[in-house]
Chains A and B, each alone.
Chain A
Amino acid sequence: MKRRAIRHEPLFFERNPDRLRRQGFQLPPLDVPAVDPDSVLPGAALRDQIADYPDITEMEVVQHFHRLSQLNYAVDEGLYPLGSCTMKYNPRLNEQTARLVGLAAAHPLQPVEQVQGSLRLIWELEQALMAITGMAGVTLQPAAGAHGELAGILMIRKALETRGDAREEVLVPDSAHGTNPATAAFAGYRAVEVASGPDGTVDMEALDRLMTDHVAAIMLTVPNTLGVFEHHIVEISKLVHDRGGLIYLDGANLNAFAGRALPGLMGADAMHINLHKTFATPHGGGGPGAGPVVVSETLLPHLPVPRVVKIGDRFTLVENDDASIGAMRGFYGNFLILVRALTYIRGLGSDGLREMSDVAVLYANLVRHRLAGAYNLPYDSPTLHEVVFDDARQTINDVHNTDIAKRLLDYGFHPPTMSFPLIVHGALMIEPAESVSPDEVEAFCDAMLAIAKEAEENPELVRSAPHDTPVSRVDEVRAARKLKVRWTADNSS
């Protein structure tokens, strides 16, 4: 992090202690009679002036956030190889189109004849996502991947109930992202874990044993969180379908095969797509995302409402449908995120989307090749867009994956994902994504190799990292023990 000046920015609430009133915005002049709130509102409902809430100028606001921004790492600064999160370049064209006033200012409750542009955009993105996945239908409503998972599982639940075959369990491989079991539980199912076989994919014998008539669905990630494609996918689908269950695919890793394979051919009944992963909408420091769900013919009647329908060359909304699971959120989804995704899909098109997956997979395999001599590879199956190492060779010197991660910060890179898959202890899950240059990928590999060497020759240097960041290693245990989750005047530091 050598490029950055280290400084601390006071909290907004800590400035202006004498409470000088400044002005950070302007109102239109009051060209109607001023009303005294006491004269029209019940006194008990009114509040006092909020204490400790300063008023500052426009430039003070800009400086405050500018300084804060300089304490952040970002995709635009360098490789951000968080496995499964797909941190790729966010094209600036997407940002432009999402700010077109006709789209950004549209009110969601305008009559449909006033918002034909918005409805057309939704419809066009729906067509594109169905084409990319080979599925029969789609909803763009869910606000994020986990929200899409829930929509998908609720549709599965509805389909089985409609069939008169309500079931109680959902199978989830032990390699799955944490949202999968959480979603199954949230949807009223018991999550049952399926063990992985020695190659990191679903153990077919275990599946055969667990796939009873109590099982509503299996939630599979393709490729899974190890980056390994479930090569039994067609057999799995057949087995589950034959026994009355349905197939939920977690599409978090669609960027590994878009343009080369179709979930529709894999037997999927539902799959969510993280637009903020495969389709380059910004991660925004933790959202907003968007988690459209594509579905098979089986689930088509159960898609959430409202739905956009095309009649001739006009578009309208269907608000009610008894077969639907209902609404997943307000309005029609994170619309301005949908604008960005459609922009990206139009820019890349059929040829570009395939290239995207090709280069993502090529880079991940370059990383695997370069680092295989220095880091342990717990599963040696072929991998696609990401690769999972562990810290087994470094723990000999009492250096752990978290230490390696913190040391990477000193080299100017964001660390890989470490919190999962749970089947790998001390995981380092690396996903370069396709948008950086090969030079950047190689520089990252060099940093990883240098750290592996440091772990042997000077392990304390790695254990005490980071050494060159705006703050040194942060005490996360203390944060949880001595909870302080807002600023207060009497307890300021």
Chain B
Amino acid sequence: MHPWIGAGDDDRRRILTELGLDSIDELFESIPPEVCIDRLPMADGRDENAVRSELVSMALDNLSPECVPSFLGAGVYRHVQPSVVDAVLSRAEFFTSYTPYQPEISQGTLQVIFEFQTLMCQLTGMEVSNASLYDGATAMVEAVLFAHRLKRGKLDRVVLAETVHPMYRRVLATYADPAGLDVVVVPPGDDGRVSTDALREAAGDNLSCCIAIQSPNFLGIIEDLPSVADTAHSTGALAVQVVTEGVSLGLLAGGGEHGFDVVCGEAQSFGIAPGYGGPHLGFFTCREKNLRQMPGRLAGETIDDNGQRAFCLTLSTREQHIRRAKATSNICTNQGLMALAATIWLESIGGYGLRELATACLSRTEDLKRRIIDSGGPWQIAYPSSPTFNEFLLTGPGAGVELARRLADEGVLAGVAAHRWGGSWPDGLLVAVTEQNTAGDMEAFIDALGGIS
């Protein structure tokens, strides 16, 4: 008998007797014998310590960015991690419960979702937020499909800035084909920012359902949001802002304040471990008038029979379990526990705290840029006059992959190769700096650069 299985041999015999059966095999007689097997071709179960050892050995086979100066970003960032985040989400009342379909015994989860929705609206300047989506890439896909629905499926063109995370663009390509969407990618101008003229030309007149840009963009550069929103609306398209570094919203106004119709993306920065890529946290915010086309779950406020405030899931008539083939999305499970992590994190950091945190990222990023320029090596900051938040493109000898490898040999995880997925920008390293990168890390970065010059 295994400790994770509730009935021992005696229990099983007793239950079989009650059911009038001789063997458990009789319960499986409805399965045709030709699809059955005697045992699985794998080893039998092992005790906890043995399993733990195997997993520990795998963990030790990774080089951990926790142990060396790391400037890896490109959509996944290392920020302050208050220990309360993991402590709270380790409470079984949160992590072993299910989707709060029974509101009377799920007020904890439901209130958390309501607080999460409120926080996301405050950060993005938007009016409504859903309860989460899988990740930033799929959140952007959902935004495009949302725009397509709002335009009644008649405007099949989607205009996408090339400086939207290439991985997100790749995921959109997977979904675009069956949805009948035609994705037009617009490269950045000489300053690394999207050109509104190029966007307008690509969008045409009443041909595109949306224009999607990322800000800060894949190269770390802050886009001119008001002019992008105006451009989108002048062509009859919705304006979609993708955000991959949530902490930027501590300093930068979200697209909601600049006329955007959707602000969506990745909220991993809010207390969620890099975790080799997941689980992370997709978010989606939009205007209230478009709420009924919004994908994903939603918590709302109401009252109970005694007139007390209570929360429940609402507008589920948009969802697959009611609408089936006509649902706004096929999503069922989302990222509930990750939304909880983000809520705990955002409430720990606070409104002033988030601004302080974002300002620290900015100060440290500007410090590293200055040190690189002052080092006098063959290194350049691409697009030097364009404003960045906490990430920039470094170019020079060895450019991307090779440079990253040589700096790793010097003990610094210096950045992500900018041409990993191709791109019309110069090859180089995307260098991300957060409040966790100390002056010592910066010195190590400069020393490593010096070591290979």
* Identity of the chain B residue whose Cβ is nearest the Cβ of A47 in the assembled complex: B253
The interface stretch among A100-108, A205-213, A449-457 is A100-108
Which A residues are CB-close (under 8 A) to B257? Answer: 47
Q: Is B278 touching A436 in the complex (CB atoms < 8 A)?
A: no
Stretch with Cβ within 8 A of A (4 or more), from B206-214, B231-239, B318-326, B372-380:
B318-326
B5 touches A285 (CB 8 A): no
**A49 CB contact (under 8 Å) in B63, B297, B352:** B352
Contacts of A365 in B (CB 8 A): 19, 27
Q: List the B side residues contacting A466 at CB < 8 Å.
A: 104
Does residue A427 face the partner (Cβ distance < 8 Å to B)? Answer: no
- Given A65-B344, A74-B93, A470-B107, are A55 and B336 also a contact pair (CB < 8 Å)? no
Check B366 against A40 for contact (C-beta < 8 Å).
Answer: yes
Quick check: is B174 within 8 A (CB to CB) of the other chain?
A: yes
Given A283-B98, A326-B171, CB of A69 within 8 Å of CB of B325: no
Contact B40 A265 (CB under 8 A): no
Q: With A13-B118, A54-B351, A261-B37 in contact, do A106 and B105 touch (Cβ < 8 Å)?
A: no
Q: Name the CB-closest residue of A to B350.
A: A55
Measured CB to CB, the nearest residue on chain A to B321 is: A178
Chain A residues near B276 (CB-CB < 8 A): 103, 106-108, 115, 118, 331-332, 335-336
CA–CA, A423 to B217, complex, Å?
Answer: 49
**In the bound complex, what is the Cα–Cα distance between A449 and B165 (angstroms)?**
56
Q: Which residue of B lies closest to A330 (CB)?
A: B137
Stretch at the interface among A142-150, A292-300, A391-399: A142-150
Kindly name the residue among B51, B99, B226, B253 whose own CB sees the greatest number of chain A CB atoms within 10 A.
B51
Task: Say whether A109 faces chain B, with CB atoms less than 8 Å apart.
Answer: yes
Chain B, residues 94-135, CB within 8 Å of chain A (1/0): the string is: 111111111111111101101101110111010111011011
A311-344 near B? 1/0 per residue, CB < 8 Å = 0000000010000011111111111110100111
Contacts of A56 in B (CB 8 A): 347, 350
With beta carbons under 8 angstroms apart, the residue of B64, B101, B439 that contacts A102 is B64
Chain A residues whose C-beta falls within 8 Å of the C-beta of B225 in the assembled complex: 45
Which of chain A's residues 107-138 have a Cβ closer than 8 Å to chain B? 107-111, 114-118, 120-121, 128, 131-132, 134
Give the distance in Å from the alpha carbon of A106 to the alpha carbon of B413 in the complex. Answer: 12
* CB of A153 to closest CB in B, whole Å: 9
Q: Once the chains bind, are A58 and B84 in contact (CB under 8 Å)?
A: yes
Pick the contact of B252: A46, A61, A344 (CB < 8 A): A46
Which residues does chain A contribute within 8 Å of B278, judged by CB atoms? 108, 143, 288, 329-337
Given contacts A73-B97, A331-B276, A354-B40, contact A406 B314 (CB under 8 A): no
Residue B387 lies at the interface, judged by CB distance under 8 Å to chain A: yes
Q: Is A246 an interface residue (CB 8 A)?
A: no
Contact A287 B333 (CB under 8 A): yes
Task: Give chain A residues whose Cβ lies under 8 Å from the Cβ of B317.
Answer: 480
> With A229-B31, A474-B304 as given contacts, are A286 and B24 in contact (CB-CB < 8 Å)?
no
B340 & A356 in contact (Cβ 8 Å cutoff): no
Q: Which of B80, B224, B300, B350 has the most CB of A within 10 A?
A: B350
Contact, CB under 8 Å: A493 / B301 = yes
Given A50-B122, A53-B350, is A231 in contact with B279 using a C-beta cutoff of 8 Å?
no
A470: which B residues are within 8 A, CB to CB?
Answer: 104-105, 107
- The answer to whether A349 touches B63 (Cβ under 8 A) is no
B363 in contact with A97 (CB, 8 Å): no
**Residues A474-492 near B (CB distance < 8 A):** 474-476, 478-480, 482-487
Max count, chain A CB within 10 A of own CB: residue among B15, B98, B253? B98
B355 at the interface (CB under 8 A from A): yes
In the complex, are the beta carbons of A480 and B300 less than 8 A apart?
Answer: yes
Whether the Cβ atoms of A285 and B336 lie closer than 8 Å is yes
Report Cα–Cα, A289/B134, bound state, in Å: 9
**Contact between chains at A359 and B6 (CB < 8 Å):** yes
Interface centre among A101, A154, A405 (most CB of B within 10 A): A101
Chain A hits for B105, CB < 8 A:
1, 71-73, 409, 414, 469-470
Interface residues of A in 28-70 (CB under 8 A from B): 28, 30-35, 37, 40-42, 44-56, 58, 61-62, 64-66, 68-70
Interface size on B, residues (CB 8 A): 205
Number of residues in A with C-beta < 8 Å to the partner? 207
Shortest distance from the beta carbon of B47 to any chain A beta carbon, whole Å: 8
- Whether B80 and A257, one on each chain, are in contact in the complex, defined by CB atoms closer than 8 angstroms, is no
Set of chain A residues within 8 Å of B349, measured between Cβ atoms: 24-25
User: Which residues of B lie under 8 Å from residue A220 when comparing CB positions?
Assistant: none
Q: Could you say which residues of chain A place their CB within 8 Å of the CB of B196? A: none
* B35, A262: Cβ atoms closer than 8 Å: yes
Q: Which of B64, B306, B362 contacts A35 (CB 8 A)?
A: B362
Proximity bits, B147-174, A CB within 8 Å = 1, else 0 = 0000000000000000001011011011
**Residues from chain A with Cβ under 8 Å of B226 in the complex:** 44
Contacts of B108 in A (CB 8 A): 68-72
**How long is the Cα–Cα vector from A149 to B92 in the complex, in angstroms?**
29
Complex Cα spacing A325 to B173, Å: 9
* Inter-chain contact A289/B333, CB cutoff 8 Å: yes
Judged by a CB distance under 8 angstroms, whether A90 is at the interface is yes
Q: A11-B111, A346-B54, A473-B305 are in contact. Are A75 and B45 (CB under 8 A)?
A: no
Complex interface: chain B residues within 8 A of A344 (CB)? 4
Given contacts A72-B108, A485-B298, contact A438 B115 (CB under 8 A): no
Q: Is the CB of B291 within 8 A of A483?
A: yes
Which of B65-73, B182-190, B197-205, B445-453 is near enough to bind chain A?
Answer: B65-73
Contact residues in A for B321 (Cβ distance below 8 Å): 177-179, 419-420
Interface assignment of B393: CB less than 8 Å from any CB of chain A: no
Judging by beta carbons under 8 Å apart, are B51 and A479 in contact?
no
The CA of A40 and the CA of B122, in the complex, are separated in Å by 24
Whether the Cβ atoms of B24 and A330 lie closer than 8 Å is no
Q: Is the CB of B94 within 8 A of A69?
A: yes
**Which of B121, B277, B347 is the one whose CB lies under 8 Å from A331?**
B277
**Contact of A375 with B by CB under 8 A:** no
* Binary CB contact string for chain A from 421 to 445 against chain B (1 if under 8 A, 0 otherwise): 0000000000000111110100000
Q: Cβ of A479 and Cβ of B312 under 8 Å apart?
A: yes
Tell me how far the C-beta of A43 lies from the nearest C-beta in chain B, rounded to whole angstroms: 11
Tell me whether A53 and B122 are in contact in the complex, defined as CB-CB below 8 angstroms, given that A23-B353, A45-B225, A178-B327 are known contacts. Answer: yes
Please tell me if A254 contacts chain B, counting CB pairs below 8 Å.
no
Residue numbers in A under 8 Å from B435 (CB-CB): 27-28
- Find the B residue at minimum CB distance from A87: B98
Q: How far is the CA of A118 from the CA of B108 in the complex (A)?
A: 34
Say whether B99 contacts A283, CB under 8 Å. Answer: yes
Cα distance A405–B101 when bound, in Å? 11
Contacts of A96 in B (CB 8 A): 52
The residues of A that contact B115 with a CB separation of less than 8 Å are: 11-13, 487
Picked from A13, A80, A103, A280, the residue with its CB within 8 Å of the CB of B275 is: A103
Q: Is the CB of A366 within 8 A of B273?
A: no
Contact A28 B137 (CB under 8 A): no
Please, how many angstroms separate the alpha-carbon atoms of A415 and B320 in the complex? 21
A8 interface hit (Cβ, 8 Å): yes
Does A164 count as interface, using CB distance less than 8 angstroms? no
Distance in angstroms between the alpha carbons of A258 and B42 in the assembled complex:
12
Determine whether the beta carbon of B324 is less than 8 Å from that of A181: yes
A108 touches B277 (CB 8 A): yes
Contacts of B2 in A (CB 8 A): 347-348, 352, 355
CA of A31 to CA of B56 in the docked complex: distance in angstroms? 35
Name, among A80, A157, A484, the residue most crowded by chain B CB atoms within 10 Å (CB to CB). A484
Q: Are A479 and B301 in contact (CB under 8 A)?
A: yes
Residue of A nearest to B126 (CB): A486
Can you list 21 A-B pairs, Cβ within 8 angstroms, ordered by A? A21-B350, A24-B353, A27-B357, A66-B88, A73-B97, A87-B98, A150-B330, A178-B320, A234-B34, A258-B40, A261-B28, A261-B31, A280-B4, A283-B333, A287-B279, A287-B336, A330-B136, A331-B135, A334-B278, A414-B105, A438-B7
The 7 closest A-B pairs by CB, nearest first: A331-B277, A55-B350, A102-B59, A53-B351, A284-B337, A117-B61, A286-B336
Given contacts A109-B420, A191-B324, A261-B35, 11 further A-B contacts (CB under 8 A): A25-B350, A34-B363, A106-B62, A147-B331, A231-B32, A233-B35, A261-B28, A265-B37, A284-B97, A350-B41, A493-B309
